[in-house]
């Protein structure tokens, strides 16, 4: 440790990564709270949940799962590409990831649009006539997927920032912890979806 002053300048990648992981924990607990609510109401209204879940489009859900898994792989590969010094491949892989994230949101848009066309959205007249468990299921469906979509958007912005930082050479082969952390955040979005997908689409 040098004697000069500047306590902000020394770099500790493990610390940055640990910080990112701790942040991921808070996100997991945030969604954990929602999963608790889901589990409780599912245990109270099992039949209503089945009926309501039947109305979700499993096909779109599955497509979105595949999209997220592939994007997870591309972002993981981009770290490898950067560490082996292949900058142009890194950028391509990141661009692919961001594109896939966008595709996910487009799918989500159509899925939500379809539901809203059928007058199933929070606060609609039809919703209030549904059975209590169905109402709660759709409430949870919108709340959980909306919060998840918000994380996708945040993740896209983070990856976009990192993309330009790599392009301008501020994130490099030897100083790549930012990309790694961005990747970790993106995997978190994937992790949550891995649980959301069967709980919302597959319990019929």
In angstroms, what is the minimal distance from the CB of 98 to another protein?
Answer: 17
Which of 56, 39, 46, 63 is closest to 193 using CA atoms? 63
Give the number of C-alpha atoms closer than 13 A to the C-alpha of residue 53, restricted to the C-beta side.
18
Q: Are 41 and 141 in contact (CB under 8 A)?
A: no
Least distance CB 14 / another protein (angstroms): 6
Write down the least CB distance from residue 200 to another protein, Å. Answer: 11
Least distance to another protein, CB of residue 194, Å: 5
CB of 44 to another protein, least distance (A): 7
Nearer to another protein by Cβ, of 38 and 163: the residue is 38
CA distance 42 to 103: 30
Q: Where are the alpha helices (DSSP H) in the chain?
A: 13-44, 46-54, 58-83, 87-117, 125-129, 132-167, 177-201
Of 54, 38, 58, 31, nearest to 139 (Cα)? 38
What is residue 55's three-state secondary structure?
Answer: coil
């Amino acid at each position: 440790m040098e004697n000069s002053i500047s306590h902000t300048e020394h770099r500790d990648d493990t610390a940055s990564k640990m910080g990112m992981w701790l942040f991921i924990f808070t996100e997991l607990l945030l969604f954990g709270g929602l999963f608790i609510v889901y589990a409780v109401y599912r245990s109270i209204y099992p039949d209503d949940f089945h009926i309501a879940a039947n109305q979700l489009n499993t096909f779109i859900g599955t497509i979105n799962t595949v999209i997220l898994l592939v994007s997870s792989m591309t972002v993981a590969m981009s770290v490898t590409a950067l560490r082996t010094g292949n900058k142009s491949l890194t950028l391509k892989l990141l661009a692919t990831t961001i594109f896939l994230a966008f595709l996910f949101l487009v799918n989500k848009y159509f899925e939500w649009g379809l539901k809203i066309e059928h007058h199933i959205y929070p606060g609609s007249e039809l919703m209030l006539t549904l059975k209590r468990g169905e109402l709660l299921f759709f409430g949870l469906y919108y709340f959980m997927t909306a919060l998840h979509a918000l994380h996708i958007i945040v993740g896209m912005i983070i990856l976009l920032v990192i993309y330009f930082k790599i392009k301008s050479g501020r994130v490099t082969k030897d100083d790549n912890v930012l990309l790694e952390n961005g990747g970790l955040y993106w995997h978190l979005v994937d992790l949550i979806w891995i649980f959301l997908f069967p709980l919302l689409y597959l319990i019929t």
